[in-house]
Structure 1
């Protein structure tokens, strides 16, 4: 990572928060309280599975057809999920190398800001949050673990977590925000996937309202939601090519299949027109 860039970004980040009348949460625990009281106070649907919930009694698993995989205690409570895991924005900082998350909390003010950033926090069923852990987002192959009618799939073998279609754009825009705000590096493959996801799942009214509420609390919005500073989507360098027209049997991954469907216009890959190509590798 370019250290000069990180130093400059850190200075700008602290200046933004200092100059604002609003103030960022002082800690992850403070952020969770603020998110419950001031962001999600009138919202009652979990991020990944769309289950009805309240913060006192937890999720109503029957409301979304959720089936417990293994952990009934965690499945019956709401937890705050970091869309970009703490591992991803922590491991690129020196504090993580010298003692992990606890050391970063003690010694690194920028890590504390990132960990408590409300733009990166969403309410999720605890079991899903625990299974996802710090897995990368992606389209998973078999074997997978699923949760009944909840449109989430996890592959522990591939270390990959596949979110439901209505949340994929939200995830992409959150990752771009965290990348730019805290100088986090994201792989080219992930950038390519997120561009496809953002195009598939455009900004909706709740995403806009959530962004407004968070900006009022901590003093900054997500420009990929508000479009105030960055009117267009980023165009990462392609890692796949449209030069050769491929069939599903020639795809090396689900990400490549999505690229050929969305970027190259190869509609034959999506035989039933449901937006998902190559069912043999994309579930």
Structure 2
């Protein structure tokens, strides 16, 4: 009887917790502790990360060979885990190719568009905090990647290559114009982009759309992607129907 009660209690807890994150802070908490068990590997480079006893999210740059990959002034952010929007949050400030009203209002009021839209546009807030699009990332790589379009060929200057080492090591190349993600996650990126297109009105450029179509075929859904998607559904109540 006690075992049955414990199982029912566990199911009840999942049901209560499931739901759209009410804020970005809540979304990050859910990402780091419920989608991932307080540790894992960063998306672009496969660096191990964990939460310390002091509740700090830290990356082990030494373990993935990136301890010397950043200048001294960037080391603090490089050692920090950040929640990366694989599809940049600025991309869905537009819906169906038109600026959301909240973005227009933010500009008129001289406010940060992302913050303003999270407060005033429920759909944007849901898109911004959707766990489908959030992954743990090396903080400084998140900053360098910014909102650059994806590509698989070099374009622009100031090229930076981050080559993670170890069993889970991956490589991302970032220039002044584009981000070239590791091959292992290109299909994942594509399917998230198509999900945002269908769910939140994201309008992809012809070039990005063609690239993502190709990536989705070359890199089909993996077991890791399936497991993550299933966990997200249990945590927030829905997931990406394209990642099945």
TM bucket, shorter chain: 0.7 to 0.9
Q: TM-score, normalised by structure 2?
A: 0.79
1:21-76 alpha-carbon deviations (Å, 9 max, x no partner): 84111111111111111101165111100111113351111222224233111111
User: CA RMSD for the aligned pairs?
Assistant: 1.8
From 175, 188, 202, the equivalent of 1:155 is: 175
In 2, Cα distance between equivalents of 1:166 and 1:103: 35
Asked if the contact 2:45/2:163 (under 8 Å) is kept, the reply is: no
Contact 1:207–1:225, Cα closer than 8 Å, also in 2: yes
2:84 aligns with one of 81, 86, 91: 81
Moved over 2 A (4+): 67-70, 139-143, 147-150
* Distance (Å, rounded) in 1 between the aligned partners of 2:215 and 2:198: 18
Q: CA deviation at 1:147?
A: 2.3
Equivalent pair of 2:44/2:182 in contact (CA under 8 Å): yes
Matches within 5 A, 1:186-197: 186-197=204-215
Higher relative contact order (CA 8 A, sep 6+): 2
Q: Is the 8 A contact 1:27 1:115 kept in 2?
A: no
Question: Partner of 1:96: helix, strand, or coil?
Answer: helix
Q: How far does residue 148 in structure 1 lie from its aligned partner after superposition?
A: 4.3
1:181 paired with 2:177, answer no
Go from structure 1 to structure 2 and tell me whether the alpha carbon gap of 1:88 and 1:31 turns closer, same or farther (over 3 Å shift): same
The verdict on how the C-alpha distance between 1:90 and 1:210 changes in structure 2, with shifts beyond 3 A counting, is same
The match for 2:69 is 68
Q: Deviations over 1:179-202 (max 9, x none)?
A: 111111111110110111122222
**Structure 1 CA distance, aligned partners of 2:196 and 2:235?**
17
Hey, what's the Cα distance between the residues in 2 that align with 1:215 and 1:154? 31
Matched, 1:134 2:154: no
When the two structures are aligned, how many residues end up with a matched partner?
205
- Matched residue of 1:206: which SS? helix
Paired position in structure 2 for 1:246: none
Looking at structure 2, the residues matched to 46 and 101 of structure 1 have their Cα atoms a distance apart, in angstroms, of 24
Unpaired segments ≥5 residues, structure 1: 1-19, 227-283
Partner Cα separation in structure 2 for residue 58 and residue 203 of structure 1: 29
Residue 100 of structure 2 corresponds to which residue in structure 1? 93
Cα distance in 1 between the residues matched to 2:51 and 2:207? 36
